[in-house]
Structure 1
Amino acid sequence: MSSDAKTEQFDCGIGTDRISNLPGNLIDHILKCLPLRDAVRTSTLSKAWRDKWVMLTCLRFDDDFFIQLLSKMTTKDEETQISEVLRIVSGVLLTLNGPILEFRLFIPDDLPLHKYPAFIHWIRNISKNGVKILKLRNKGSSAYEIPSYFFSCSKLTHLKLESCILNPPLKSGGFCNLIRVKLVNVTITTAMSFGTQLSELYLECCAGIEHLGDHFKYKNNITLLSIWSCGEVEWKWFECTQKVENLCLAFNEEAKQTMDLDKLVDEMPNIHTLQLDGLVLKSLETGAAVMQRPTTMEKLKDISLYDLECDLLQIQNVLCLIRISPKLRYLYVHLNSGNYTNVAPSMELKVLQFLQSTHLIDFIPNQLETVEIDGMVGSVELEFIKLLLASSPSLRCMNLLNPSIDDFEQAFRISRELMRFPRASAAAQIIWLN
């Protein structure tokens, strides 16, 4: 081979370490995408890689990390396992040279790490290191009380806590940059705020949410609000939800107070995604003003309804929501089969009569394209489906999920009856999914 050919080969990069010569920000991104264990192991690749991982700004001690770590241990003794985990995690934190901008920690149910002093030092170290994203999932049997110094993490932008206690001190630096907060099974003991920049708030199975009342005053910036099974909800909060675009609301018991649907609609002019459960629908009062009002939910495109029963008030509110949403494109309805099978014949008759008497001229979802009904299909559901098929000119697909029909003759009869409607035969595709 001539010398020119050899030079050409060399210029093409054959035999060179291209990965090591990548820009620093690209190498950081590669390390960030790797599981933490693999990122640390890159130190054995070469001298050039020996100290690259110590500049990691993202630490993920997630469930995969613990599964791999515990699988390598020969002992099953809990104290020995905890001691080894504490040693490894502490060693990683001590070795890092730069700031830790993202920290994710999973506490397994059989390893109560939060009860040990080393864990307290981890949180303190993270709090002082300018962390921006913090996610703490506690699967242990006891909740972890967040230490007071945590409430001074002024640079925090994203927070997720699971099975924790928030007991803020009377005086703290406060949060001023939080954008997104998700709390799961968290207890809030006293009044607190996540700052004025908050735009996304998720609350699931939490206690003490009344202490977050400051977030529901005028000039708040919340665009996504999800309150799922958190006890009593203060309806007055929804007097200040003009910026909300996504709303998810579910109760764990019937509300003691009711909310006027007409007023609720007025307070959410920008909403485009709505998720409600059956108990919420029961607590909404549908007045004549709503039934006759001009459409106001001009931006609402997706509606998902969960745990519906054969209840007249629920059905009235469902149809009302559809009627006042002219740009609705997707509708999902999940039926509570447990309560649905025990419905009184008189209530079922009332619901059927209401659906049969509904005037189609007042019920025209012009842009509705997809409908999904999850659960048993009986006479009430069939009547509801007929109404949608007959009054939705843009309907393209109707999915019947888990219809709980074992009798093929009954399924065939229902399908044949549905296909009688022009929308079903012309454009709508009816799909049975078990």
Structure 2
Amino acid sequence: MNAQRLLLDGTITTLPSNIIENILWLLPIEEIVRTSLLSKEWRYNWTKVPKVAFIEDLFHDSMFDESSGENQLPVDQGFEESTSESEMQKMIRRHKFFYAIYQFLLLHQGPIVDFTLSMRSSDATNDCAEIDQILLHLSRKNTVKKLRLSSMCDLPLSIFSFHQLTELYLSDCSICHVPPFNRFRSLTTLCLKDVRMYKKTLMHILSNNPLLKSLTMVTDGCSIILTRNDEYGTINELFQCLPLIEYLSFYVWDIESFGKGVVPRELATSLVHLKFLQLERMCFLENNWFQFLVLIIKSSPNLEKLTLKMMFVDTEDERWLDFDHDLYSATMQACSDIWLEHLIEFEIEEDFNAEHDLEFVKLILAKSPVLKKLRLGVYYKDADLKLLEALLSPPPSSPMVQIFGFRGGKDHPFEIDGVIY
């Protein structure tokens, strides 16, 4: 639905201002600005919208006319003579993109509580300076509660200048400094995707936000989320910073950054609030990773969903040669006293060529009396019957469990004699 269609229904002009505001929330930024052309009554409605998203891939050069702004934040328009034509076009478009953001912020009249800035690429030096100006402008209003930033650059210190922030989503960026202070102390959600930062910076953020309920630290590529050049923080110290954590999504190899990967026998604090646990790039051939998984499970008595995204390991990989079967057996034995009385869903993406992986799945089935769904990622042909025979002998502790498999992203139930398990 575009802005023009909104006015076709005559009742919209008589709606309360908060309803109109909610309607504008659902529109792209370009459509929000265009509503100023609908009528005199709508001319300034867009300047009070509290949710703003600037996404470069959706940006149109004509969204703001550069000649229309009298008050402007400064934008560097200088280009080097050696710049190629294609690079020049990118730089001009990026200049217009930032200009549109500046114009919007200068004309905006009400509080902004939700702000998104997403950029596909980056000129690290110039973009960092521009983002710094944008963040400083937003922090002066001190109203932003949800902030999303996606930019391939080093974020400035102004990222820490928000007092009211409760949700922070960062992706494809770096934080290459340790803040001397931490002004956002009310975070309940922190999501870091393909973010590089010092471990000391991460621990500083976590330790100053004891209300944190959701923490995501993952990468899509081969880059690591934490630099490993500082000795600050152990696994126990990490979880002591998360007393209220309910949702945890973690790249399991990042545990190597904490206390040199040494996994304690038990956590100093029980994760009594944790309900959702997702470990990315999990591999049972890495004994300390498996020990970490067991440690978290044993420390989370109220866990409701467990998701393991397994890492494929070639049969010629050195992990097979270095695998300590005795240590693996000892870790499995440490699981014998667990009882996942609240676990409802278990998901594991795996090709199930490794017998010990299947052994762990069977253990979870035996220890989860209220389990309702087991989702298995199967990547080789004719595995369904073999898997079911292995998993159902002995039968799972929950009589209500359904076993679903998926290949190529498509779910389908496994069946034996027409009965769905």
Aligned partner of 1:269 in structure 2 is: 243
2:210 corresponds to which letter in structure 1? Q
TM normalised by structure 2 equals: 0.71
1:412 aligns to 2:385 (yes or no): yes
Q: What is the Cα deviation at residue 350 of structure 1?
A: 4.5
362, 376, 381: which one aligns with 1:386: 362
1:247 corresponds to which letter in structure 2? L
Aligned to 1:19, the other structure's residue is in SS state helix
Aligned to 2:174, the other structure's residue is in SS state coil
Aligned partner of 2:15 in structure 1 is: 23
Q: Cα RMSD (Å) of the superposition?
A: 3.9
User: Are the counterparts in 2 of residues 389 and 421 from structure 1 also a CA contact under 8 Å?
Assistant: no
1:226 corresponds to which letter in structure 2? C
User: Are the counterparts in 2 of residues 205 and 228 from structure 1 also a CA contact under 8 Å?
Assistant: yes
Aligned partner of 1:188 in structure 2 is: 155
Q: What is the Cα deviation at residue 93 of structure 1?
A: 9.7
Aligned to 2:348, the other structure's residue is in SS state strand
1:242 aligns to 2:210 (yes or no): yes
**Residues of 2 paired with 1:150 and 1:36: CA distance?**
17
Instruction: Count matched residues.
Output: 358
1:245 corresponds to which letter in structure 2? K
Q: Which segments of 5 or more consecutive residues in structure 2 lack a partner in the other structure?
A: 1-7, 70-86, 408-421
Q: How does 1:22-101 map to 2 (within 5 A)?
A: 22-23=14-15, 25=17, 26=19, 29-30=22-23, 33-34=26-27, 49-57=38-46, 58=49, 86=61, 88-91=62-65, 94=68
Q: What is the Cα deviation at residue 203 of structure 1?
A: 2.6
Q: What is the Cα deviation at residue 430 of structure 1?
A: 1.7
How far does the alpha carbon of each residue in 1:221-276 deviate from its partner, in whole angstroms, 9 at most, with x for none?
22212233333322642443422111112473373447433333333211111111
Aligned partner of 1:297 in structure 2 is: 271
How far does the alpha carbon of each residue in 1:59-113 deviate from its partner, in whole angstroms, 9 at most, with x for none?
77757865xxxxxxxxxxxxxxxxxx54x32349959xxxxxxxxxxxxx99636
**Residues of 2 paired with 1:129 and 1:371: CA distance?**
49
Q: How does 1:220-369 map to 2 (within 5 A)?
A: 220-231=185-196, 232-234=198-200, 236-237=203-204, 238-250=206-218, 252-253=223-224, 255-256=228-229, 257=231, 259-284=233-258, 285-290=262-267, 296-309=270-283, 310-338=285-313, 342=317, 343-347=319-323, 349-350=325-326, 352-361=328-337, 363-369=338-344
User: Are the counterparts in 2 of residues 127 and 149 from structure 1 also a CA contact under 8 Å?
Assistant: no
Q: Go from structure 1 to structure 2 and tell me whether the alpha carbon gap of 1:90 and 1:359 turns closer, same or farther (over 3 Å shift).
A: closer
**Residues of 2 paired with 1:286 and 1:190: CA distance?**
33
Question: Between Structure 1 and Structure 2, whose CA radius of gyration is higher?
Answer: 1
Q: What is the Cα deviation at residue 114 of structure 1?
A: 5.0
Q: Return the structure number with greater relative CO, CA threshold 8 A, min gap 6.
A: 2
Aligned partner of 2:134 in structure 1 is: 150
Q: Which segments of 5 or more consecutive residues in structure 1 lack a partner in the other structure?
A: 1-15, 67-84, 96-108, 157-173
**Residues of 2 paired with 1:204 and 1:43: CA distance?**
33
1:357 corresponds to which letter in structure 2? Q
Q: What is the Cα deviation at residue 120 of structure 1?
A: 5.5
Segment of structure 1 superposing worse, 306-315 or 241-250:
241-250
Aligned partner of 1:137 in structure 2 is: 118
Q: What is the Cα deviation at residue 31 of structure 1?
A: 5.6
**Residues of 1 paired with 2:406 and 2:36: CA distance?**
50
Segment of structure 1 superposing worse, 325-334 or 117-126:
117-126
User: Are the counterparts in 1 of residues 199 and 232 from structure 2 also a CA contact under 8 Å?
Assistant: no
Aligned to 1:421, the other structure's residue is in SS state coil
1:129 corresponds to which letter in structure 2? L
**Residues of 2 paired with 1:420 and 1:364: CA distance?**
19
**Residues of 1 paired with 2:215 and 2:33: CA distance?**
41
1:360 corresponds to which letter in structure 2? S
1:255 corresponds to which letter in structure 2? R
Segment of structure 1 superposing worse, 33-42 or 348-357:
33-42
Aligned partner of 1:204 in structure 2 is: 171
**Residues of 2 paired with 1:258 and 1:60: CA distance?**
36
User: Are the counterparts in 1 of residues 203 and 238 from structure 2 also a CA contact under 8 Å?
Assistant: no
Q: Go from structure 1 to structure 2 and tell me whether the alpha carbon gap of 1:179 and 1:20 turns closer, same or farther (over 3 Å shift).
A: closer
Work out the percentage of aligned pairs sharing the same amino acid.
18
Aligned partner of 1:128 in structure 2 is: 106
How far does the alpha carbon of each residue in 1:312-351 deviate from its partner, in whole angstroms, 9 at most, with x for none?
0010110110111110000000011157872324416346
1:128 corresponds to which letter in structure 2? L
